[in-house]
């Protein structure tokens, strides 16, 4: 079946559709020996598609994996000259996978690993504002003023004001507390920086949801393939975001 070329390339691991369009515009893509153009279609089962003179790999079956990233593991699927363990080391599944929903080294929780480049881009691009939900442990009991600051947006050290967050007190934990936080953006170490600027020292972060996908009862280091209904829900959310 013929599909748009950028969709085929994205699924083959060449990045987002936009990145694949750039490859086509640069004249780096050929179909059956002819330089491709934007709007070109191909059938990966019949046509020879090349990038920089190399035939693209056979289209692998789609892979969707939920992983509970432990603390002390990098979210990257690849590192250069960094000996620390990555999420890819925890999942012995062959082929290139994108890491969706990066977490800092000290944080833990849900990450999606997939070879679906289009879905990966749409779940991570800030334009689409997919919700990500966290349980956040803080070392002191928050007052309403601090929580309201999170809800209205916090000015970080670099002058950036965060988008409003949904936040509520979940439980009291000794001298501290657990918060439930929902974000629609994902700046580096954002929750920790929000806590720092409002006097709430963050001691633990666990992501429990990305869009419609839930962490569930996965323990740190555990992973599983997504069920068909979970994949359908993620893709339905993707389509709604594109329309919006």
b/e 151-182 (16+ beta carbons within 10 angstroms → b): eeebebeeeeebeebebeeeeeeeebbebebe
Q: Residues near 140 by Cβ (< 8 Å), separated by ≥ 6?
A: 175, 176, 177, 199, 200, 201
Q: Which of 173, 106, 182 is nearest to 140 (CA)?
A: 173
Q: Catalytic residue at 104?
A: yes
> Bridge partners of 23?
none
Q: Residues 104, 173, 217, 229: which is the catalytic one?
A: 104
Strand locations in the chain (E) = 3-4, 29-31, 34-35, 41-42, 49-51, 54-55, 64-69, 98-100, 108-114, 132-138, 166-173, 176-183, 202-210, 213-214, 223-225
Catalytic residue set: 104
């Amino acid at each position: 079946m013929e599909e748009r070329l950028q969709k085929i390339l994205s699924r083959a691991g060449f990045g987002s559709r936009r990145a694949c369009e750039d490859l086509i515009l640069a004249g780096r893509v050929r179909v059956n020996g002819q330089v491709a153009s934007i709007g070109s279609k191909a059938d990966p089962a019949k046509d020879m598609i090349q990038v920089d003179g190399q035939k693209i790999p056979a289209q692998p079956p789609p892979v969707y994996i939920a992983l509970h990233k432990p603390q002390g593991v990098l979210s990257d699927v690849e590192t250069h000259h960094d000996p620390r363990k990555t999420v890819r080391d925890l999942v012995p599944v062959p082929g290139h996978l994108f890491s969706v929903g990066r977490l800092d080294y000290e944080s833990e929780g849900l990450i999606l690993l997939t070879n679906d480049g289009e879905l990966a881009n749409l779940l991570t691009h800030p334009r689409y504002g997919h919700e990500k939900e966290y349980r956040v442990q803080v070392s002191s009991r928050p007052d309403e003023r601090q929580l309201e600051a999170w809800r209205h947006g916090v000015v970080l050290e670099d002058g950036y004001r965060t988008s409003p967050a949904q936040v509520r007190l979940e439980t009291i934990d000794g001298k501290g507390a657990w918060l439930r936080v929902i974000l629609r953006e994902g700046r580096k170490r954002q929750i920790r920086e929000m806590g720092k600027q409002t006097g709430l020292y963050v001691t633990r972060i666990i992501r429990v949801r990305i869009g419609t996908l839930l962490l569930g009862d996965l323990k740190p280091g555990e992973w599983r393939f997504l069920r068909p209904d979970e994949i359908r829900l993620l893709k339905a959310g993707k389509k709604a975001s594109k329309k919006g």
